[in-house]
């Protein structure tokens, strides 16, 4: 059995700190004073965000290692950094910046005139959201795109495209007393073109003539290329979307036919989702505990859990749900999976690492963030063992003894390589014909 100690320190009765805690004990690692900051056991006591691990299993001990390796890439205020949703790692960066980037999106915030992804110009009362990029090796953060379409969750497909949920908004006073609808839906773009709003493609914005609520998170099922996304009504509850026309459901988009279908209902608010390694199980979080209402932000009797569904019907339907895990701190928001099938859920105290059978293996704790870890993702290439965590006011990572699921090369540099390969192939074909 493992002893679980205070996550802020492994401390003996006489007050001394044990630099090498025993099996299963919590271990604290605080970053140094400048960034990116690589965590050490006794460094940088003055930083805002403190990281530690709390183990409940031998598996977790092996996962994080004897001395967990944290990095605080950037930290600021929530208002400045806005590191909230949609983390996507692009090993090849984007056009004009072909270096490893972590893409993320902000919460909606008030701004002046802006444009939606469909080109609508809006009034000063408009909410906007950012797509931002962290330069992983320098800690610099850049705005790639600011849009009134309100970007949210995102994922990278095997085709090298980024698929992103846009919440849209309903402007009650868009000038001269008129109302204007900026459509909610699912959009995609080549990874290198993220910053160019003219390159985005609307995948789906309505079902049977009815609008979506506020699409939240998205995942691609590579087996058949279908795109699955959640659509809770948080936008309506937060007063920037009109009254719902559809339920809080999970959807499947068949990219071959363009048909979108409901695959999951019975949720308070479906949120994060991810497939198992074999893509025969879909994990979905229900975050009804977080109501989205300013007056009553929490419903203690509502779900804050992860459900598991068996994928059936040739990959087009979901079987009966089973309750997999209930978070003890806040809600399980974003979900990711590693190459060995473990689940990683962003929660109020950090990241909860959960076995496929629902056992809590351990926690990656991030103290000093007001709203916890909303979302997370694994890197690629030399960063494939790095788990990046969005903590609103900071972006933190930990090096693990595992990797994320295999992803395609992405970004500007990979597109250039593909173009070179295509030209080389064309030349070879031309030479064959000539001979």
Percent of the chain with pLDDT over 90: 72
Residue 107's pLDDT band, with cuts at 50, 70 and 90, is very high
Looking at per-residue pLDDT, the higher value among 29 and 267 belongs to: 267
Question: Is pLDDT larger for residue 177 or for residue 392?
Answer: 392
Rounded to the nearest integer, the mean pLDDT of the chain is: 84
pLDDT of res. 130: 96
Give the residue carrying structure tokens 């499947």: 252
Asked if residues 316 and 252 have their Cβ atoms less than 8 Å apart, the reply is yes
pLDDT at 78 over 50: yes
**Is the CB of residue 140 less than 8 Å from the CB of residue 156?**
no
Nearest Cα neighbor of 194 from 417, 427, 412, 435 is 412
Q: Is the pLDDT of residue 6 over 50?
A: no
- Specify the DSSP class assigned to residue 369: -
Give the range with max mean pLDDT: 23-27, 79-83, 282-286, 402-406.
282-286
What number of helices (H) and strands (E) belong to the chain? 4, 32
Answer whether residue 154 shows pLDDT above 60.
yes
Cα angle 150, 152, 154 (rounded to 5 degrees) comes to 135
In eight-state DSSP terms, residue 107 is P
Q: Can you give the pLDDT at residue 202? A: 96
The whole-angstrom separation of Cα 162 and Cα 90 is: 10
Confidence bin at 171 (pLDDT 50/70/90): confident
pLDDT at 3: 30
In this prediction, residue 371 carries a pLDDT of 82
How crowded is the C-beta side of 79, counted as CA atoms within 13 Å? 2
Q: Which of 10-24, 47-61, 224-238 has the highest mean pLDDT?
A: 224-238
Domain boundaries, the chain: 45-109+124-406
Please give the backbone phi and psi of residue 421, each rounded to the nearest 5 degrees, phi first: -60, -40
Instruction: Examine the pLDDT at 7 and tell me if it is beyond 50.
Output: no
Residue with token string 């979080």: 285
Q: What is the CATH number of domain 45-109+124-406?
A: 2.120.10.30
């Amino acid at each position: 059995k493992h002893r679980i100690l205070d996550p802020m320190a492994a401390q003996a009765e006489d007050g001394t700190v044990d630099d090498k805690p025993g099996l299963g004990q919590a271990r604290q690692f605080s970053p140094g004073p400048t960034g990116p900051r690589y965590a050490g056991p006794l460094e940088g006591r003055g930083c805002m965000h403190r990281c530690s691990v709390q183990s409940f299993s031998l598996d977790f001990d092996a996962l994080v290692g004897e001395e967990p390796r944290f990095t605080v890439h950037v930290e600021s205020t929530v208002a400045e950094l806005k590191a909230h949703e949609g983390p996507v790692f692009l090993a090849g960066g984007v056009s004009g910046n072909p270096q490893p980037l972590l893409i993320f999106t902000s919460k909606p915030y008030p701004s002046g005139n802006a444009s939606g992804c469909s080109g609508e110009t809006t009034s000063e009362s408009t909410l906007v959201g950012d797509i931002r990029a962290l330069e992983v090796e320098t800690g610099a953060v850049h705005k790639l795109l600011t849009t009134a379409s309100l970007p949210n969750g995102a994922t990278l497909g095997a085709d090298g495209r980024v698929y992103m949920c846009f919440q849209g908004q309903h402007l009650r006073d868009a000038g001269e007393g008129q109302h204007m609808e900026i459509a909610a839906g699912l959009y995609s773009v080549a990874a290198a073109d993220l910053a160019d709003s003219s390159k985005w493609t609307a995948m789906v914005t309505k079902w049977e003539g009815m609008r979506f609520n506020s699409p939240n998170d998205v995942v691609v099922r590579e087996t058949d290329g279908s795109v699955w996304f959640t659509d809770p009504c948080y936008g309506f509850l937060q007063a920037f979307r009109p009254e719902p026309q559809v339920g809080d459901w999970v959807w499947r988009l068949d990219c071959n036919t363009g048909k979108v279908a409901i695959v999951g209902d019975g949720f308070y608010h479906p949120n994060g989702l991810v497939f198992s390694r074999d893509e025969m199980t879909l994990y979905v979080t229900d975050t009804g505990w977080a109501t989205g209402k300013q007056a009553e932000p929490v419903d203690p009797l509502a779900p804050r859990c992860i459900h598991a569904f068996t994928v059936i019907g040739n990959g087009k339907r979901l079987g009966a749900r089973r309750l997999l895990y209930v978070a003890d701190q806040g809600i399980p928001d974003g979900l990711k999976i590693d190459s060995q099938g473990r689940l990683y859920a962003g929660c109020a105290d950090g990241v909860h690492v959960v076995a496929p059978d629902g056992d809590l293996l351990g926690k990656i704790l991030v103290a000093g963030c007001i709203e916890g870890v909303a979302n997370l993702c694994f890197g690629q290439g030399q960063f494939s063992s790095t788990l990046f965590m969005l903590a609103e006011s900071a972006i933190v990572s930990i090096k693990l003894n595992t990797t994320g699921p295999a992803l395609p090369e992405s970004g500007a540099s990979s597109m250039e390589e593909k173009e070179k390969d295509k030209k080389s192939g064309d030349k070879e074909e031309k030479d064959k014909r000539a001979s």
